[in-house]
Amino acid sequence: MIGTILGNRYTLLEELGTGGMAIVYKAHCAYLQRDVAIKVIREEFRGDADLLRRFDSEARAAASLTHPNIVQIYDVGREGNLVYIVMELVDGSSLKELITEHGPMPWAMAVDVMIKIASALQKAHAKKIVHRDIKPQNILMTADGEPKVADFGIARTGKSSMETMKVDTVASVHYASPEQVRGGYTDAQSDLYSAGVTLYEMLTGKLPFPGDNPVSVALRQILDAVPRADAAIPEIPRQLADIVEKCMQKNRADRYEDASMLIADLESVKRNPESIHVDLPIIRREEGLVAAGGLELAEGDFMARPREKHMNMRNRRVFNRRRIIFPLIYVLLIGIIIALVVNIIGFVTRDLNVPLATETPANEAIVGSYVGRDIAEVLVDIEKAKIDPFEIQYRYDANVKSGIVLEQTPLAGSKLVIKGLTTLEIIVSKGQDQVVVPQILNRKRAE
């Protein structure tokens, strides 16, 4: 590809990096006499006409975003079977590279960077564009220390249905919201969850839910409590750790309503860490009621605090719901695992009369029955069976609720070679399709 000329003006000079969907090149624009970055869609995606059509319209929508902290998209084009995006070339490294090389940032610097990232998200969300892959790898840092959010060219518009997610993308699943790994409806607050994970990593130099296995990381995103940034680095102000925790709440209703509210709290904590109170859901510990940030409460202490009056009833509902739901989830998962083990042992001893270890070679896995089951439950089975590779896709289905498996290939009982050529494919329902209702009041009928 080096030396190829695209659109009669862009000469590819060198490869800058590769991703799951595209390869990025440095190129020179002969018309404007400037260097640019060009993202060329990988060959395996070029035959999907529907995906390319949506990709083209969504990239053009993202090109309308003009913001100092967003990598600008200049052009979208095709050259034969090549599909590409022309973008601003950022002279610097990714935020991930800086964290890996230098470790945790001073908290005031991390706040400055996140304010600018949140400002970029605020601009995109105002245009109904959701990024859905916010992570330090997609944030480029200029030589002057300015963050620029990249990959808005493959973001999704608010009404897009192109939400296929490969669970084997370990780099993305570390930052994905619980609803995203479950295949549910994602929106601007899903971006804020990912921003919270990114801020946690900037502050601590670590991921909140580490792991090399994408399935185990996805399960931790759904089930595990949000870790405290100030527990990892005591110098971090408690209020800043509260902000991180609020971004990363499992329930959308407990997160910031929009990026502007996140920016306001970040600016307040920057001026005076003790000047703000961050509303967090209330949970029960053995010694009594405590706020999620660690503030001790008496049993009846639901008196309103500043910016908290409207939260009281919702906090009670969240508190009561979590007392019931989380123990049930754990009991259900344990029961499923026990039932599977008992059934397998019974089958082996009754029908085969051979030790369990001889049923399947070490390099093979048996596909379970996944259709009609919740994807979170299925992910546990897949991890236990060590099935690899596998892929999860999502599609709308008006008759099946979100998160339930619709189809699987190959069928239950099939044997797969671990890390072989055959991929287990699972299709999960996204529930009924939804669209964003536009603002039509006080507009002309023709518009």
CA nearest to 351, candidates 359, 361, 360, 363: 359
| Look-up of token digits 């189809």 | 407
CB 364 within 8 A of CB 418: yes
Mean pLDDT of 408-417: 86
Q: Sheet of 139-142: strands edge to edge?
A: 92-94, 139-142, 147-149
Percent share of the chain, pLDDT over 70:
78
Phi-psi region of 200 (alpha: psi -120 to 50; beta: other; left: phi over 0): alpha
Phi-psi region of 388 (alpha: psi -120 to 50; beta: other; left: phi over 0): beta
User: How large is the C-alpha radius of gyration of the chain?
Assistant: 24
Residue 444: band (very low, low, confident or very high) from pLDDT cuts 50, 70, 90:
confident
**Long-range Cβ pairs for the range 343-346 (8 Å, 24+):** none
CA angle 91, 96, 98 (to 5 degrees): 65
Residue 209: band (very low, low, confident or very high) from pLDDT cuts 50, 70, 90:
very high
Name, in order, each residue with C-beta under 8 angstroms of 31's C-beta and a sequence gap of 6 or more: 9
How far CA 2 is from CA of 10, 26, 33, 79, in Å, comes to 11, 9, 18, 15
Q: Alpha-carbon distance 388 to 317, whole Å?
A: 40
- If you ran DSSP here, which 8-state letter would residue 306 be given? T
Residue 322 pLDDT: 53
SS3 of residue 353 by DSSP: coil
Statement: residue 62 has pLDDT above 80: no
Compute the residue count for the chain. 447
Residue 181 pLDDT: 86
Q: Cis link prior to 410 (omega < 30° from 0)? A: yes
Question: Pairing mode, if any, of strands 390-395 and 424-429?
Answer: parallel
What are the DSSP calls for 99-139, one per residue? HHHH-SPPHHHHHHHHHHHHHHHHHHHHTTEE-S--SGGGE
Residue 308 pLDDT: 40
- Within 13 A of 428's CA, how many CA atoms are on the CB side? 28
Q: Alpha-carbon distance 42 to 61, whole Å?
A: 21
Residue 327: band (very low, low, confident or very high) from pLDDT cuts 50, 70, 90:
low
Higher pLDDT pick, 199 / 357? 199
Q: Across the chain, what does the average pLDDT equal?
A: 80
Statement: residue 271 has pLDDT above 50: yes
**Long-range Cβ pairs for the range 287-292 (8 Å, 24+):** 289/319, 292/226, 292/242, 292/245
Residue 301 pLDDT: 35
**Least reliable range by pLDDT among 99-113, 265-279, 319-333:** 319-333
**Where does 307-372 show beta strands of DSSP type E?**
364-366
Mean pLDDT of 279-297: 47
Name, in order, each residue with C-beta under 8 angstroms of 78's C-beta and a sequence gap of 6 or more: 84
Mean pLDDT of 283-288: 40
Q: Is the pTM of this model over 0.95?
A: no
Q: Which of 86-95, 148-157, 299-308 has the highest mean pLDDT?
A: 86-95
| Look-up of token digits 């440095």 | 26
Residue 388 pLDDT: 85
362-380 per-position pLDDT tens digit: 788 899 999 999 998 888 8
Active-site residue numbers?
A: 133
| Look-up of token digits 């299709």 | 427
Higher pLDDT pick, 75 / 207? 207
**Least reliable range by pLDDT among 74-78, 303-307, 359-363:** 303-307
Residue 259 pLDDT: 95
Percent share of the chain, pLDDT over 90:
36
Residue 131 phi/psi, 5-degree rounding, is -70, -50
295-322 per-position pLDDT tens digit: 333 333 333 333 343 344 444 444 455 5
234-253 per-position pLDDT tens digit: 999 999 999 999 999 999 88
Statement: residue 270 has pLDDT above 70: yes
Residue 206 pLDDT: 95
Mean pLDDT of 182-188: 81
CB 127 within 8 A of CB 112: no
Q: Which run of H or of E encompasses 10?
A: strand 10-18
Residue 88 pLDDT: 92
